[in-house]
Amino acid sequence: EEEEEEEEEDDDMVAEMGLSELKKAIQSFQHVGLKLREIGWMRFVEKAFSRVIYARIESRLANICAGVYNVPQLDNAISWMKLTVLRWLQCFTNSDSSTTTTAAAAAAA
């Protein structure tokens, strides 16, 4: 339950960011990924990063599907993953500047 509250606070924090703040945060995130690749540490953080991602996916799915048994939710879950999780992963693993704009747009949505 405490984790859910922290995730909601994180979501609120992102929702309150302006587009320029969000782009700056994403660029910082890209920079971290780039530096981790440069020094060969991506393999060390990959497992922890994956755990965080899986926890966020699991939490989001639990929120999307909680008590909703008569409405299909798979399309919503897949759309959310494509618009957020996969774009943030791409942002972290790729230093392409067009990814920053795409990830910022997804996070702002």
pLDDT 10s digits, 11-20: 666 667 788 8
SS3 41: coil
Q: pLDDT class for 94, splitting at 50, 70, 90?
A: confident
Q: What is the pLDDT of residue 7?
A: 59
Q: What is the pLDDT of residue 39?
A: 93
Report the alpha-carbon distance of residue 49 to residue 97 in Å, rounded. Answer: 22
Q: What is the pLDDT of residue 6?
A: 59
Instruction: Please tell me the pTM assigned to this model.
Output: 0.60
pLDDT 10s digits, 30-86: 888 889 989 999 888 888 888 988 898 898 888 888 888 888 888 888 888 888 888
Tell me which amino acid residue 29 is: F
> Kindly report the CA angle at 87 between 95 and 70, in degrees rounded to 5?
175
Report the alpha-carbon distance of residue 54 to residue 47 in Å, rounded. Answer: 10
Q: Residues 87, 106: contact at Cβ < 8 Å?
A: yes
Structure tokens at 73: 């939710």
pLDDT 10s digits, 17-38: 788 888 888 888 888 888 998 9
